[in-house]
Amino acid sequence: MQSGESETGDGGETADFGFRRVAKGEQAALVRDVLGYGTPLLPAATAWMAARDSIRAAEDGTVDSLAIVDLSASGYQLVGLDRSGALKDDLLVVNPRCGAGSGLIHLGFGIAAILAALHVRRGGGGDEPEQGAAMALSLPGGDWLLWLAAAVAGGFTTVCAMPNTRPVNDRAESTRKLIEDCGRLGLARVFPIAAVTMGSEGEELTDFAGLVAAGAVAFSDDGRPVKCAELMCAALEKARPLGAPIIDHCETPGLSAGGWMNEGEVARRLGARGIPNASEDECVARDLEAAEATGGHVHIAHLSTAGAIEMVRKAKRRGLRVTCEVTPHHFSLTDEAVEKCGTQAKMNPPLRSPDDLRAILAGISDGTVDVLATDHAPHAPELKAKPFAEAPFGIIGFETALPLALTQLVHTGKISLAHLIVMMSTNPAHLIRRPLGRLQAGGAGDVTVFDPAREWTYRVSESRSKSRNSPFDGWKLKGTVTATIVAGKVVYGCS
């Protein structure tokens, strides 16, 4: 929607958001209406200081507008601020006419920004028919509907889908089909990550140029590492002129084969076969060498070990084109969770030791980690009910990602709110080379509104996902999504 247009909804949950510019002369009234409204949730002065301080804390300067969100009789009002904390001369305001019946209430201070879910998977069962990852792209979208409904409930306006579909997303027609099918649902934006190799079998590289032209934003053989150093170098060389990263699941199959969980004291106590840190570390070292040799961009998926974090930190200092991500479960849990949660805590890479968790938190705090990714992987209950050695890897993560990040990172003082927005919004948008991640006139009109102070208990039985594979059931969290807006339309709202 372009600046100057204005649409208002009928008070329902699908009310359109009108984007308009506010002249400098209107600022006084706007500030009085919004900052002076004085909700019980957050005093005006506190909201103003929180917004200003968050903007000043944005390390790389790419977060150029946050927002104060309040609810008055006329609906939301999001007031743009510049990095200094001053009101802009020409403010961007989103002002839907949401009636009391919309259910979009109980808002305090929030952020106007896209949340992008990098690295999400189609699991086995759960949100999909029984074939799960073997889901046919040509199906009309019932399973995609459930998958994206969970995404927008978690505040995600954009998701990047891994290629573990059937057929594997290794052709331009599959990429276009995925985009078209998901686009018709009118929920989150979907950008496909295509396979590095045909069938993700580690032999023949796919048609990178054709896939990018069809809409792919990156390449990965999701769940499997790129097979060898020679193939990784060839992929990086081929992707470099396209500006697309190679996203690698770093694992050394010869070291991890047959492993169920982290190698360590807990595994020994349970009699489980472990996956050593070296399985990840050796592959990360290989990929960094390939990036240095080719000048290509490698993105290391779901880092879990202290050694991998340190290697990426040093590679960045040397100027290599490397980015990385971690997941909420890897900064919230250790392998001890397996004793309590069983297969609900089985994922790959596995939950690691307390020392690894501390290293991940340090990497988040010092900026080594670029992105927080969900690694959302739904599985049917009967699959997760199998014996530990037979149950599939993976957990759901859409609806807990932001609340866990707020609870474990922001409210503990490990990072600022602005830093979190950079990792969940700005950096993912940069990584996929899309003009998203910021609120601006004529922009995408994607907004996530959340109450960072609201305390609640996560109940997996209430999830929008059909899957129930989460180790966070019953966790008390602080911070929750209250509305998700995509292309100016409310696609999710809660009271």
Strand, helix or coil for residue 92 = strand
Q: With a cut of 80, say whether residue 76 has pLDDT above it.
A: no
pLDDT greater at residue 369 or residue 483: 369
- The answer to which of 65-74, 260-269, 333-342, 357-366 has the lowest mean pLDDT is 65-74
199 and 314 share one domain: yes
Q: Is 90 a catalytic residue?
A: no
- Is the residue at 9 inside a domain? no
CA dihedral 428, 431, 437, 442 (to 10 degrees): -150
The pLDDT score that the predictor gives to residue 125 is: 42
pLDDT of 435 = 85
Residue 5 lies in a domain: no
Nearest to 250 by CA among 349, 151, 381: 349
Determine the pLDDT at residue 120: 58
Residue 147 lies in a domain: yes
Q: What is the CATH number of the domain that holds 61?
A: 2.30.40
Is pLDDT of 54 > 80? Answer: no
What tokens were used for 479? 């911070």
Q: What is the pLDDT of residue 73?
A: 30
Local structure of 3: helix, strand or coil: coil
- 441 confidence band (pLDDT: 50, 70, 90): low
Give the tens place of pLDDT for each residue, 385-397: 999 999 999 999 9
Q: Are residues 411 and 474 in the same domain?
A: no
The total of structural domains in the chain comes to: 2
Instruction: Check pLDDT > 60 for residue 63.
Output: no
Sign of the C-alpha dihedral computed for residues 178, 249, 465 and 129 taken in this order? positive
* Residue-level pLDDT at 421: 84
Question: pLDDT-based confidence at 484, cuts 50/70/90?
Answer: confident
pLDDT tens-digit profile of 231-264? 999 999 999 999 999 999 999 999 999 999 999 9
227 and 349 fall within a common domain:
yes
Summarize pLDDT for 93-112 with one digit per residue, the tens: 333 322 222 222 222 223 33
**pLDDT value at residue 116:** 56
> Is residue 122 pLDDT above 80, yes or no?
no
Of 105, 92, 97, whose CA–CA distance to 1 is shortest? 92
Write down the mean pLDDT value for the chain. Answer: 77
Residue tagged active-site, from 375, 446, 451, 473: 375
Report the percentage of the chain scoring pLDDT > 90: 56
Please report, for the domain that includes residue 315, its CATH number. Answer: 3.20.20.140
| Judgement on whether residues 169 and 310 belong to the same structural domain of the protein | yes
Going by their DSSP bridges, the two strands 476-486 and 67-72 should be labelled as unpaired
pLDDT at 286 over 80: yes
pLDDT per position as a tens digit, 298-324? 999 999 999 999 999 999 999 999 999
Q: Is residue 122 part of a domain?
A: yes
If asked whether residues 275 and 320 sit together in one domain, one would say yes
More confident residue, 37 or 359: 359
Domain of residue 166 covers 116-431
Average pLDDT estimate for 284-311: 98
Extended strands (E) in 115-263:
116-120, 158-161, 189-194, 218-219, 246-248, 261-262
**Are the beta carbons of 210 and 242 closer than 8 angstroms?**
no
pLDDT tens track for 183-212: 999 999 999 999 999 999 999 999 999 999
pTM for the predicted model, two decimal places:
0.78
Does residue 58 sit in the same domain as residue 155? no
